A and B are shown apart, each in its own frame.
Chain A
């Protein structure tokens, strides 16, 4: 219970800090909107109303992913710059528990991205997305946020020894947009890409959101998305232990 309270309080604190950050709070919301707008124009020029609705939901999840990928990779880098990394590592809580609220906060900003993109599509492009199963839709969005937070945590701890961690976060933005079927049906991609997309939670989160919005059955997709999110967290905990042990032994935590 105390761990949940710790995550809750830390998540709120991180969310407030993210919302005050011009890069995370404004830049990460605006940037995917430009891509969404371009995609809307492309699909509109293709003149297919069905693909416009498909694109609107995909573009919304694009924004969710952007807010995680570009900043979660550098979450530990930021602590290093602020001089707080050593203090956090020395705290009595497991370090991954300290870091998870940060990436969860970034994923939560993704909900704002999702809403902003859907509203932008509605008012600027006249794309009417009718949500068929509201409850399942909300559950799908919540589950996707949790899974994105887990994946962000895995990014954050995996890149801790990498001085330019933010680059890797940026680097994964386009590939996930492409291979998780956010804007392009997976059937259009080469067959060898599909197994990669299956181990990425955004693929299943996207499916769950689309199915719940358009009237399908999202439960299986949502469960797989949550399962992958849990797996990311478990792997991240193991990676954290290994990385911190190594950093302590070599005295390289600060990378100075």
Chain B
């Protein structure tokens, strides 16, 4: 039990810190802190041009949705990066229990994703002059954390795919693009075709963005608990699916000697 806890906490933290071997402040600040602000501004101005909704709508949607970048890319890098450094086989041959091994690496990703989303929301609201009620700040922080958890679940699926697909950056960008369109970050779900708004119910961010908009509009936390429960459920389903895929692809990699195929 103690070993599993050590693998979960120490292993996860060490793996995340290893990202900063290349994810230096020179990379982190432009990609994680400044880029989401430009995405918010881009869509806020598109919204103004199209006369669709107000700045708050686009601020909340894009601040939360941009958390997908750290969640998807960091999780893909969790396995892809190990392969690049030639350490993946050493990890997979170890007797370490897989659940703390993989989920421990997810925890810092969730926290970082939440930080990126919260930063974008806070600074974006200052730039656009959007007022968020003081009473909504703490509930919004919780919603962002849940959204990051949910997307990290999808990130684990993405990480599993990087065991089979060489170009995980392309896959991460494609998933990011689908989340941009489907989750209601910029387009009201009611304006999307039915099949798209239905598919959005099974995607990270959809429920969290809806909840965040209600909170910013003055709703109480209890009023959005159904949405938060749905978001948590979506994240948990993706997490379990991602873990199953990782184990399956690990087995396939052993059978076909394709672990280092990149």
Contact = CB atoms under 8 A, between A and B. Distances in A.
B203 to A, nearest CB: 14
B85 interface: no
Contact of B49 (A26, A35, A174, A188): A188
Contacts, number: 108
Interface string B73-87: 000000000000000
A35 B180 contact: yes
Contacts of B214: none
Nearest to B165: A22
A38 B180 contact: yes
B112 interface: no
A184 B49 contact: yes
A81 B65 CA distance: 32
Contact of A183 (B39, B46, B174, B181): B46
Given A34-B177, A42-B186, A48 B38 contact: no
A22 B167 contact: yes
Given A51-B50, A171-B31, A31 B187 contact: no
Interface in B163-191: 166-167, 169-170, 173-174, 176-178, 180-181, 186-188, 191
Interface string A154-179: 00000000111001101100110110
A33 to B, nearest CB: 8
Interface of A is mostly: helix
B121 to A, nearest CB: 17
Contact of B187 (A33, A42, A163, A171): A42
B256 interface: no
Given A27-B173, A31-B173, A41-B191, A184 B52 contact: no
B46 A39 contact: yes
Contacts of A92: none
Interface of A: 22-23, 26-27, 30-31, 33-35, 37-39, 41-46, 48, 51, 162-164, 167-168, 170-171, 174-175, 177-178, 183-185, 188-189
Given A168-B30, A170-B35, 6 more contacts: A27-B170, A30-B170, A33-B177, A34-B177, A41-B181, A177-B42
Interface of B: 22, 24, 26-27, 30-31, 34-35, 38-39, 41-43, 45-52, 166-167, 169-170, 173-174, 176-178, 180-181, 186-188, 191-192
